[in-house]
Amino acid sequence: MSPPGRPKGMCRSALREGLAVNAARRATARRRGFTLLEVLVSLAIVAIALAAGLRAAGVLTDNAGRLADVIAAQWCADNQLTALRLARAFPGVGDADFRCEQLGRTYEGVLVTRPTPNPNFRRVDAVMLDEAGRPLVTISTVLGRL
């Protein structure tokens, strides 16, 4: 009669070999997949990387909008200084507000005219402002008496 727990007709060595094979199978089965903790950690890393990528894309979009504003404001300032040159009039000292429309948007600016050490020249700064009144761009030139 065989001891309890051992199948009939199985010797001890065969039983040991069977247990060893089953243990090896279970060990390789455990090594094949990922644990829940490993999957959660990898998902957290991917989520953080995607969030950083979305933030970077948002910053690039904001910068592109600001660049478009600065370029349009620069065109406005350049147009005002060109109009002064074409008028062929010697500008008086002082500040003058102006408006300009570029790309469907209205920009506000200030022409700041200051004297120079040579009385035959004036320094003129065209300062373009954003909606909050902060300077977007400043372009300067020197105009001479004709």
Say whether 133 sits in a helix, a strand or coil: coil
Return the pLDDT at 108. 94
Q: What is the pLDDT along the chain (146 residues), one digit of tens a residue?
A: 555 655 565 566 666 676 766 766 766 655 678 899 999 999 999 999 999 999 998 888 888 888 988 999 999 999 999 999 999 989 999 999 999 998 888 999 999 999 999 999 999 999 999 888 899 999 999 999 87
Q: How far apart are the C-alpha atoms of 16 and 46, rounded to whole Å?
A: 46
Beta strands in the chain (DSSP E): 94-102, 105-115, 121-129, 135-144
Q: Give residue 11's pLDDT.
A: 65
β-bridge mates for residue 124, sequence order? 113, 141
Q: Is 73 exposed, middle or buried (0-12, 13-18, 19+ CB in 10 A)?
A: buried
Handedness of CA 49, 51, 57, 60 (dihedral sign): negative
